[in-house]
Amino acid sequence: MDPTTKINIPESTLERVVIVGGGFGGLQLARKLVKADFQVVLIDRNNYHQFQPLFYQVAMAGLEPSSIVFPFRKLFQGEKNIFIRMAEVTHVDPVARQIQTPLGHCNYDHLIVATGADTNYYGNEELERRTLPMKSVSEALYLRNSILDDYEDALTTPVYDDRQELVDIVIVGGGATGVELAGSLAEMKTHVLPKDYPELEVEEEFDIYLVQSGDVVLKGMSADSSAKALKYLEELGVKVLLNTRVNAFDGKLVTLDDGRTIVTQKVIWAAGIKGVPVPGLPESAITYGNRLAVDRFCRVKDTENIYALGDVAYMEEPEFPKGHPQVAQVAIQMGEHLAKNLRYRHLRGEEWEPFHYHDKGSMATIGRARAVVDIPKPEFHFGGIMAWLVWLLVHLFAILGTRNKVVVFLNWLYNYINYNQSLRLIIRPRSVPESR
């Protein structure tokens, strides 16, 4: 692409706000600015918003992918001052106030980096190459295909040891993603697989391992919730290995740091995330976890008119001296706060207000009727079916689109009654013609 080529966006007398990334933070900012006196440009590699907290349910054949994604263009139908472009930002020039994409370049008055986070393998190239991540809908679908493919192959594998490679699963990481995956897999093992694969000895042969480097699961939650989550996992038959790390995986054998090994062909990596900053920003702005250091106004260190939101942003404040947790609520609140500063204080020439994160609590579900919830103020921790109902309600209202809310609710209701969703489909893409 010729670097002089411009993205086809009409010139305007309004200040241009370019938002890179349509996740929770970027989308919240765009929705708040779209009716203000700005020209908004939203750039994302996909043409839809993804509801990340429910990726694991797509991977476990509990939800269809279309029920947790929402097209940007449908969301902004009828709005005149927003322009959506499907592209990846390859470089930013802070001096020229310009970003580069495969479609061409785009000038900006304000640039917001809301690119989120990706899987962190901590420099282990073998694990990056051989394990399965789950940071997008497409990765969740690939994981679903891989799991179901191996179950089908197990039917025609007569040797016990060879069959174990196919049916045993190792999940690395005891955070919310790993715990929710393990719980969902365990319920599938108990209630679904014996019906689908009666020829296999599911209860005796299928093992689910959750490997956690720390001494508790759900480390960011209260001790009470962590203990409850561990109890729920063990009740479901998950083999939880605490204070244990995965050192290597050759595609058929997992080697742990204490020398033990687990035979499996499938390792799901949910052990950490790292920020995905845009190339071209100053090195001095890159900090812990590959995140961008920002001040209390979300401004990226050593830049002007460049801001970062959500998982890619690292902000310290008195109550969070080591930065905020990388969760959706932080991104949403940052997006809303930056929109207020731009929409009201910037346009009026007033002094900006610093950001303060209001922790509304955290939660995780471990299968049907099992969940844990932490509420910080007033401090309250509870689990069981009431926590599970709260989890359902919060996530249901957070999903975009009335149709998606209805579909997800009906899926959950049907699954609660009989555990027998008809979404266990192996969907492979057809080959692409050479002309493409």
The domain limits of the chain are: 15-119+273-348, 125-271
pLDDT confidence band for 90 (50 / 70 / 90): very high
CA–CA gap between residue 266 and residue 276 (Å, rounded): 26
Q: What is the pLDDT of residue 74?
A: 95
pLDDT tens per residue, range 353-390 = 999 999 999 999 998 889 999 999 888 999 999 999 99
pLDDT tens per residue, range 292-323 = 999 999 999 999 999 999 999 999 999 999 99
pLDDT tens per residue, range 32-71 = 999 999 999 999 999 999 999 999 999 988 888 889 999 9
Q: What is the pLDDT of residue 163?
A: 92
Contact criterion met (CB below 8 Å) for 399 and 51:
yes
- List the one residue out of 275, 360, 400 whose CA is nearest residue 326: 275
CA distances from 130 to 3, 127, 174, 249, 426 (A): 37, 5, 19, 7, 20
Contact criterion met (CB below 8 Å) for 369 and 187:
no
Asked if residue 434 has pLDDT above 60, the reply is no
Asked if residue 102 has pLDDT above 80, the reply is yes
Asked if residue 347 has pLDDT above 60, the reply is yes
pLDDT confidence band for 18 (50 / 70 / 90): very high
Amino acid at 293: A
For the domain bounded by 125-271, which CATH number is listed?
A: 3.50.50.100
Percentage of the chain exceeding pLDDT 70: 96
Contact criterion met (CB below 8 Å) for 264 and 278:
no
Q: What is the pLDDT of residue 2?
A: 55
Asked if residue 436 has pLDDT above 60, the reply is no
Q: What is the pLDDT of residue 50?
A: 95
pLDDT confidence band for 427 (50 / 70 / 90): confident
Asked if residue 94 has pLDDT above 90, the reply is yes
According to CATH, the topology of domain 15-119+273-348 is FAD/NAD(P)-binding domain (3.50.50)
Q: Tell me the range of 61-75, 186-200, 330-344 where mean pLDDT is highest.
A: 330-344
- List the one residue out of 105, 112, 44 whose CA is nearest residue 73: 44
Mean pLDDT of 234-254: 96
Asked if residue 425 has pLDDT above 80, the reply is no
pLDDT confidence band for 413 (50 / 70 / 90): confident
Give me the catalytic one of 88, 126, 180, 235.
180
Fold match, 15-119+273-348 / 125-271: yes
Amino acid at 112: I
Q: How many degrees, rounded to 5, is the angle at CA 225 between CA 224 and CA 228?
A: 90
Average pLDDT value over all residues in the chain:
92
Q: What is the pLDDT of residue 428?
A: 72
Asked if residue 435 has pLDDT above 60, the reply is no
Percentage of the chain exceeding pLDDT 90: 80
DSSP string, 359-417: ---EEEE-STT-EEEEETTTTEEEESHHHHHHHHHHHHHHSSSHHHHHHHHHHHHHHHH
Q: Is 351 a catalytic residue?
A: no
Backbone angles phi, psi at 124, to 5 degrees: -90, 100
Which secondary structure element, helix H or strand E, spans residue 118, and what is its range? Answer: strand 117-119
Backbone angles phi, psi at 22, to 5 degrees: -110, 40
Residue whose entry in the numeric block shows the structure tokens 């005891």: 174
